[in-house]
Structure formats: C-alpha cells, structure tokens
Amino acid sequence: MPFSYMQCQCHAIVAQSRASVDSSAALAKSSFDRLLENISRTSNIDWTGNAATLFRERMTMSREQIVLCDADVDVTVRMAA
Amino acid sequence: MNWHITSSIYGGAQYAPATMAEYTAIAESLVQSAADMRASATAWTDTAIALQRHRASMSICDSADSSASSGVYSHATFPFSDVAQRCSMHAQDCTRLGNELTQMADLLIRAHSLYSQAEAENRRLMTELVQGFTQLFPKHMFIGAGALAAGGALYGSFKEGKLNATHALTSTAWAQEGLMSGLGAMVGAVPIRKGLSHTDEVNTAAKRVAGVTAPAYDLVQGNTLHVTQVVSNSDVIQEPHSVAEAMEGLRRLGEERLGKIDLNSGLEYGTIAISQYRKADGSTSWLVTIPGTDGKADSPFGWPQNVELMSGDKTRRMKADSARMVAEAMERAGIGADEPVAMIGHSQGGIVAATLASDWSDTYNIEHIVTAGSPVANHPVSEDTWVTSVEIDDELVAALDGAENPAIDTWLTIRGTSTYIPDSIATTVNDDGSCTPGMGAGALNPFVGATVKDQPDGKEITHWLKYHQAAYRNATDLGSPALQQHEEHFQNILDGELVETTYWQGRMQRSLATAPAQSNVTMQTIGR
C-alpha cells in the first residue's frame, strides 16, 4: 500500500481546517456573548423619540440576529467536526 | 436630493456625571462590540480562504472534498466547499452586525451629546491656535487659508463636475472661527495674550469698524426710521406652536419678502411679523419673526447694520437700524413688559433677537430666542433668556463671531454638517406620526442625517434657512433630552390660541428735521 493511514497529508490538512473553523467559531461566539450582554445594558437608557424607537428596534433585531448567527455557527462547527 | 444634514448638539441641560459615565460606557461597549464583529468577520473570511487553500493542496487526495467516506480508511474527509461557503456567510453576518452597531452607537452618542464637551474644547483650542498664528503671522496664515480655500474649491468642483467656488467654504470650515477671531484681534488691536483668553475679538473689532461705517452709511441711507404696519394678503406666518413651525414661518416670510416664493401676500423687504397668542388663563404671549439681511438701499436690514449689531458696545448695538425697527414694532404691537416673548431670527434676524434679548431686557420679557445661522456667541444674553441656536459648519456666517456659543443649560446649539450621499433620501417621521419612506442610505439608516428640501443639483451655500431646518429636524429626531427641554420651553410660550399676526415694514430715509438715531414712527396701514 503506497499511502498508509499515517502517511497521507490529508489528515493534517483536515485537522488544520477544523482548527481554523473552531477558532473562528470560538471568537464569534465569545463576541456574540459580549454583544448580548452589551445590548441588555442599553435597556437602562432613558431615551424617547424617533431615533430612540429605531435604536430599540435595531437592538432587538440585533439580539435576534445574534441568536440565529450563533445557531448557524454551531451548524458549521458540526459540519467541520 | 442628495444633501443631508447631520446634527450634533452642544449645551443645554447636561446629565448627572454618573448618568453620563454610564451612557458613555454603554456607547463605548457597542463600539467595542462593533470592532469585535469586524474582527470575527475577518477571521471567518480568513478561514474561508484557508479552506479553499487547503482544498487545493489536497488535490492529490481523491477523497478530500466529500462528506461521504470513499471507503479508503487511510484518508480523511472534509466538506470544504460547504464549510467555506458558510464561513463567508458568517463573515457577511458579522460585518452587517458590526455596521449596525456602529450606526446605533453613533446615534446614541449624538442623541446624548456624550462627547460634545470634549469636541467643544478641541474646537476652542483649534480656534485659539489659528487666532494666535493669524496674529503672529498674518501674511502666512491668509496665504495658507487662501490655498486651502482654492484647493477645496478645485477638489469639490472636480468631484461635482463643474466649477463651484462654494466648496471653499467647506474646506476652510474648521478654521473660519479662528481666522475671524485673529482678524478681529488685529482690527480691534487686541493684544495676543488677551486674545487667547477671550472670545470677543470680533465684537471689539466691530465696535471700532462700526464707529466709522455706521455714521458713513447714515449719510448714504439716512437715519430716520419709518415703521409701518402693513397687511398681508395671505397667512405667511401661519400658527406656529413649535420651533420647527416657527422656522417654517420664518422661511416663508424671508423668501416671500424677497420674491423667492409667491404667497401673494404683498409683503416686501424689511418686514417682520409679530404674532399674538392668548393662553387658557387669559394671559398674552408673543412670537416675533425676524428674517435676515435683504440688502436693499432703504432697508433697515442692510449689510452695514450687521457690523453695528456685532459691536461689543451696547449703545452702538442699540443704534442699529434693524434692532431699532424691531423694538419699535414690538412697542407698537402692544407687547407688555411682563408678557412672555419668543423670538426667532435668521442670520441678521437672529443677531437682532440676541441684541433685543441682551439690551432691551429691561423693556421686554424675552424668554426664548431661536437663532439660525447667526453669529451671536458673544452677545451678553442673560441666563433668564433661553437661546436655541442652529448653525451649519460650513455656512461661514455663523462663524463670523469667531467663537463657540456658550454651552450652558439655557443655551443650546445644534451644529449641522452637510454631507453628500448619492441616491439617498432620509426616511422622515411626520408630525402626525406617519412615516415617509426614504431610499438608499437614508432609508437604511434614517437618522444619520435629514434630507435638505428643495436643494439644487450641486453644492450651494448652506446659510439658507432650509439647511437649518434640516439640522433642526435631524436633531429633533435624535430625541436629545436637552433639546426636548428647549423645545418644551419654547412651546410653553406659544401654547395659547393665535389672536393675530401683524406685519411691520421698516424704511430708512434722510430727514434733516429728525435728529440722528431717532425713529419717525408712522401709523399708516396699507390695506388689502
């Protein structure tokens, strides 16, 4: 057998690829966690008016988007595993 | 429809230090999260590229890009294409989130004026530096300013596709107050040591200049003021109950009297309006609407009167024809000494309002003035009078005082910056709560700026009132508590029913029989 299990370079490359995905995922998920925390702090702001309404809508949308993104990242990590 | 005004708010009531610190920390955390998202986006993009590279390097391995086992136990498999595609998708999501957070943090910062104090301090420092250098090296500074103006005009013209010198105002905007202050110090013979610790060099110079120009212009124009009540054929000033409505009335009157619009009123140049309100408790309040310079030969609102109004000398200011005219009209309209008065003025009209509030404070109860594009920073307006000023960065006129407006509870300044955003109209929330959808960048981020109405294709001078209206609209949309407080104060003065609006026209004449600075008040009313 010309290529044994230990000899094929694909194992190392795939491991690198998985590590890269895992690293990006970890960075994103920690950023998401901090962002969710920061968004929850914005509810303390005493602010009314058109911009305040938009701000709160966008913060709510961002929170929802983060949850979706976080789930998407999990899917990617599972695909790469 | 591509010019937008982005507003920042300075002065007005400030938060308690703890609240300010909390809001600043929140804004900074959002800015940091935006940076985190961009870092994540970069990481995902790098991963996507790395996966493509890895896949290419595995071309020798026939089972590389397959999620199914090839049956050869010695190879590893990885879904490179699918995962790389998902990494790119994550990068896009993170970028979108980062941009969104940046915009929202900016909105939060502008609405609550979180960095306004630092910005004002930096501007003051820059103004004093430019002033100092102008006094020390006047030739070099004015050559430099000329080069900056010429470069700005050429660059702006190149981008616009046609020659337009107005761009020079934008490129020199940051230095205008300093240059004016330096010029004022030179003309007013203010020593450099004193000049750096004071802000009223222009007013000192204006006092000196007006001592010559005012008597000279009196010889040309005459110094007898005729104030006549005239009747308008249409409701030029409708029934303002807010700053925005009063500004619209000011615009209509200003443009109508110069013939820029036709409301069929019959009103001419040199005309102001005085609106009387009756409150629920039976008391009376007033709104005085004062347009700017019209420059007509026999108008009290000519160009030289601006110099008198800017004088650091109270007696000289009070002799200015436009100020005398408004004071006469207020007296004849029957404004009582204790009745609350709100005044709104554009350009010279705003300087007149500040002059009345400063120098006629014993005669009238002027509770609030709104100035648009008026250089009034050094007018000694009492803190009993609230001042709401609207200025555009590159309009030049508002910078002629060579100083920042005071940033105190009762003096709030909205500074607008004009920006060209191609194919964009900002979404507008109307007074009745309905929404007029925008397009392009203005729809995606509606309060980044307010669209200027009736704008030409190219860059124009931003001193026109429609730019100040856009600045006020954007500032209002921000929901600044400080601005809301000023708006409420203004509205409280005008919260009654409109009784009537009277219009008053001023004309200057030579009269040998009348002593200088004396008004000849006529009682003639021009009928419909």
- Integer Cα distance of A35 and A42 in angstroms: 11
Q: Which residue of B has its CA nearest to A50?
A: B477
Torsion of CA B83, B85, B88, B89, to 10 degrees: -100
- Integer Cα distance of B258 and B250 in angstroms: 13
Number of alpha helices (DSSP H) and beta strands (DSSP E) in chain B = 16, 13
Report the DSSP beta bridge partners of residue B346.
B372
Q: Is A79–B477 a contact, with Cβ atoms under 8 angstroms apart?
A: no
Q: Is B64–A10 a contact, with Cβ atoms under 8 angstroms apart?
A: yes
* Contacts with B43 from chain A: Cβ below 8 Å: 23-24, 27-28
- The torsion region of residue B513 among left (phi > 0), alpha (psi -120 to 50) and beta comes to alpha
Q: Is A17–B26 a contact, with Cβ atoms under 8 angstroms apart?
A: no
Instruction: Note whether B182 and B133 are within 8 A (CB).
Output: yes
Instruction: Note whether B284 and B277 are within 8 A (CB).
Output: yes
A 4-43 → B contacts, CB under 8 A? 4-5, 7-11, 13-18, 20-21, 23-24, 27-28, 31, 34-35, 38, 41-42
- Which tokens hold the place of A53? 């309404």
Instruction: Note whether B426 and B453 are within 8 A (CB).
Output: no
Q: In a structure prediction context, what are the per-residue pLDDT tens digits for chain B, which is 528 residues long? A: 588 999 999 999 988 999 999 999 999 999 999 999 999 999 999 999 999 998 888 776 655 555 444 444 577 788 888 999 999 999 999 999 999 999 999 999 999 999 998 999 999 999 999 999 999 999 999 999 999 999 999 999 999 999 999 999 999 999 999 999 999 999 999 988 877 778 899 999 999 999 999 999 999 999 999 999 999 999 999 999 999 999 999 999 999 999 999 999 999 999 999 999 999 999 999 999 999 999 999 999 999 999 999 999 999 999 999 999 999 999 999 999 999 999 999 999 999 999 999 999 999 999 999 999 999 999 999 999 999 999 999 999 999 999 999 999 999 999 999 988 877 777 777 767 677 777 777 677 788 889 999 888 889 999 999 999 999 999 999 999 999 999 999 999 999 999 999 999 999 998 755 444 444 444 444 333
Q: Is A62–B101 a contact, with Cβ atoms under 8 angstroms apart?
A: yes
- A81 at interface of B, judged by CB pairs closer than 8 A: no
Instruction: Note whether B423 and B501 are within 8 A (CB).
Output: no
Q: Is A38–B29 a contact, with Cβ atoms under 8 angstroms apart?
A: yes
CA distance B69 to chain A (A): 13
- Which tokens hold the place of B29? 């955390």
- Integer Cα distance of B101 and B103 in angstroms: 5
Q: Is B64–A62 a contact, with Cβ atoms under 8 angstroms apart?
A: no
- Integer Cα distance of B208 and B210 in angstroms: 6
8-state DSSP, B345: E
How many C-beta atoms surround the C-beta of residue B524 within 10 A?
Answer: 9
Can you tell me which residue has the tokens 């964009």? B424
pLDDT interval class at A8 (50, 70, 90): confident
**SS3 per residue for B351-409:** HHHHHHHHHCCCCCEEEEEEEECCCCCCCCCCCCCEEEEEEECCCCHHHHHCCCCCCEC
Axis crossing angle, helix B173-187 with helix B201-221, rounded to the nearest 10: 70
CA B206 from centre of chain: 23
* Contacts with A5 from chain B: Cβ below 8 Å: 73-74
Q: What is the complex's ipTM, to 2 decimals?
A: 0.91
- Integer Cα distance of B374 and B290 in angstroms: 12
Q: Is A80–B78 a contact, with Cβ atoms under 8 angstroms apart?
A: yes
How far, in Å, are A49, B110, B473, B476 from residue B431 at the CA level? 12, 22, 11, 11
Is residue A5's pLDDT more than 70?
A: no
φ and ψ at residue B420, rounded to 5 degrees:
-90, 115
Q: Which of A17, A18, A59 to mutate to test the interface with B (most CBs of B within 10 A)?
A: A17
Of A21, A58, A69, the CB nearest to B104: A58
- A1 at interface of B, judged by CB pairs closer than 8 A: yes
Q: Which residue of A has its CA nearest to B44?
A: A24
Of A10, A41, A49, the CB nearest to B479: A49
Can you tell me which residue has the tokens 């950023």? A31
Instruction: Note whether B149 and B168 are within 8 A (CB).
Output: yes
How many C-beta atoms surround the C-beta of residue B218 within 10 A?
Answer: 18
Report the DSSP beta bridge partners of residue B290.
B345
φ and ψ at residue B163, rounded to 5 degrees:
-65, 125
Q: Is B484–A1 a contact, with Cβ atoms under 8 angstroms apart?
A: no
CA distance A52 to chain B (A): 7
Report the DSSP beta bridge partners of residue B330.
none
- The torsion region of residue A56 among left (phi > 0), alpha (psi -120 to 50) and beta comes to alpha
Instruction: Note whether B27 and B108 are within 8 A (CB).
Output: yes
- Integer Cα distance of B475 and B483 in angstroms: 8
Q: Which of A7, A24, A53, A59 to mutate to test the interface with B (most CBs of B within 10 A)?
A: A24
B460-464: which pairs have CB atoms within 8 A and are 24 or more residues apart? B460/B166, B461/B166, B461/B169, B461/B395, B461/B396, B462/B169, B462/B392, B462/B393, B462/B394, B462/B395, B462/B416, B462/B418, B463/B347, B463/B373, B463/B392, B463/B395, B463/B396, B463/B397, B463/B398
Residue in B392, B393, B390 with CA at minimum distance from that of residue B369:
B390
CA distance A49 to chain B (A): 5
Of A3, A28, A45, the CB nearest to B23: A45
How far, in Å, are B211, B237, B302, B511, B518 from residue B515 at the CA level? 18, 35, 21, 8, 6
Query: Do the strands B428-429 and B435-436 form a parallel or antiparallel pair, or are they unpaired?
Result: antiparallel
Q: Is A69–B94 a contact, with Cβ atoms under 8 angstroms apart?
A: yes
Of B63, B76, B97, the CB nearest to A62: B97
Q: Which residue of B has its CA nearest to A36?
A: B33
* Contacts with A77 from chain B: Cβ below 8 Å: none
CA distance B427 to chain A (A): 11
Q: What confidence score (pLDDT) does residue B40 get?
A: 97
Q: What is Dmax (Cα atoms) for chain A?
A: 74
What 3-state class would DSSP assign to B524? strand
Which amino acid type is present at position B328? E
- A49 at interface of B, judged by CB pairs closer than 8 A: yes
- Integer Cα distance of A9 and B302 in angstroms: 86
Q: Which residue of B has its CA nearest to A62?
A: B97
Can you tell me which residue has the tokens 């609030």? B368
* Contacts with B29 from chain A: Cβ below 8 Å: 38, 41
Of B61, B94, B429, the CB nearest to A28: B94
Instruction: Note whether A51 and B111 are within 8 A (CB).
Output: yes
* Contacts with A51 from chain B: Cβ below 8 Å: 107, 111, 447, 477-479
Total number of residues shown for chain B: 528
CA distance A31 to chain B (A): 6
Of B22, B90, B447, the CB nearest to A28: B90
Of A4, A9, A73, the CB nearest to B90: A73
Query: pTM to 2 decimals?
Result: 0.88
Q: Is B50–A16 a contact, with Cβ atoms under 8 angstroms apart?
A: yes
Which amino acid type is present at position B332? R
Can you tell me which residue has the tokens 């006047």? B138
8-state DSSP, B16: P
* Contacts with B80 from chain A: Cβ below 8 Å: 17
Which amino acid type is present at position B452? V
Q: What confidence score (pLDDT) does residue B80 get?
A: 86
pLDDT in tens, A31-69: 999 999 999 999 989 999 999 999 999 999 999 999 999
Instruction: Note whether B250 and B305 are within 8 A (CB).
Output: no
